[in-house]
């Protein structure tokens, strides 16, 4: 059986499973259960029947599937809240910063536990609007900042960007910056410019290939998580 390629979307879905969610257990267990690794918790428990508590998403799913607990769907994931966020995204120029970094992956993971099918429709519309907004911002930047910087890739800061947007626009940005760098280098060489002039420490090729995009996207991801 051919193995599936482990890409950024799979990584995001895996990381989202560590997100704390609230469950209401239907059993009691006095001891704590140690976890091998977790970003926020080193153990879970004790469990008290009927008392809400936070556990990682992957544990919450196991408990509910075994009818040992009921997951409380986060407030931000309600149809009313998502609709309000979608309206805000359509009206505002900047991205809203009220959504969790892994909002799309969390919602998809909890899809089976939600009653309303319309929630996923609104969620997909929300992700599309946010992605289109980011593409529009980069298009505007390409008409301004990139032309002024004469081949230098500008630092990019995006407040409120989430995992799904990074994974969606990442390949587009990688290709766009790669093409921009190649064309800039070609134009300078055609004009007879010394692309390896004074102050350039970017290597024998005279241009640092936009493999640095990965570090830029990583900076965006870390900023979004902070």
pLDDT tens digits, residue range 142-198? 666 555 555 555 566 678 889 999 888 877 777 777 776 677 677 667 766 554 444
Mean pLDDT for 94-121 is 88
- Segments forming the whole domain that contains residue 122: 76-134
Determine, yes or no, domain membership for 28.
Answer: yes
- Determine phi and psi for 219, rounding to 5 degrees: -60, -40
Domain end point (choices 134, 152, 182):
134
Average pLDDT, the chain: 77
- CA atoms of 176 and 193, how far apart (whole Å): 23
- pLDDT of 73 > 70? The answer is yes
- Residue 185 is assigned to a structural domain of this protein: no
The predicted pLDDT at position 199 comes to 42
The pLDDT of residue 139? 74
Boundary-marking domain end, from 19, 50, 72: 72
CATH number for 33: 3.40.5.50
- Specify the length of the chain in residues: 226
Total of domains in the chain: 2
Claim to verify: residue 41 and residue 66 sit in the same structural domain? yes
pLDDT given for residue 136 in this prediction: 84
């Amino acid at each position: 059986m051919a193995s599936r390629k482990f890409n950024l979307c799979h990584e995001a879905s895996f990381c989202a499973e560590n997100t704390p969610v609230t469950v209401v257990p239907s059993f009691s267990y006095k001891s704590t259960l140690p976890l091998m690794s977790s970003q926020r918790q080193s153990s879970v428990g004790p469990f008290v029947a009927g008392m809400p508590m936070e556990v990682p998403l992957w544990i919450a799913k196991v408990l509910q599937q075994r009818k040992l607990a009921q997951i409380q769907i986060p407030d931000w994931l309600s149809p009313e809240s998502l609709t309000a966020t979608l309206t805000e995204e359509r009206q505002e120029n900047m991205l809203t910063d009220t959504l969790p970094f892994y909002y799309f992956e969390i919602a998809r993971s909890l899809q089976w536990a939600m009653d309303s099918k319309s929630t996923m429709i609104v969620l997909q519309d929300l992700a599309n609007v946010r992605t289109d907004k980011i593409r529009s911002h980069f298009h505007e930047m390409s008409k301004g900042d990139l032309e002024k910087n004469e081949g230098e890739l500008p630092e990019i800061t995006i407040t409120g960007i989430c995992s799904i947007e990074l994974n969606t626009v990442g390949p587009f940005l990688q290709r766009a910056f790669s093409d921009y760098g190649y064309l800039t280098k070609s134009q300078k060489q055609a004009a007879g410019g010394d692309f390896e002039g004074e102050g350039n420490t970017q290597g024998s090729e005279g241009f640092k290939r936009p493999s640095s995009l990965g570090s830029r996207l990583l900076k965006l991801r870390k900023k979004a998580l902070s």
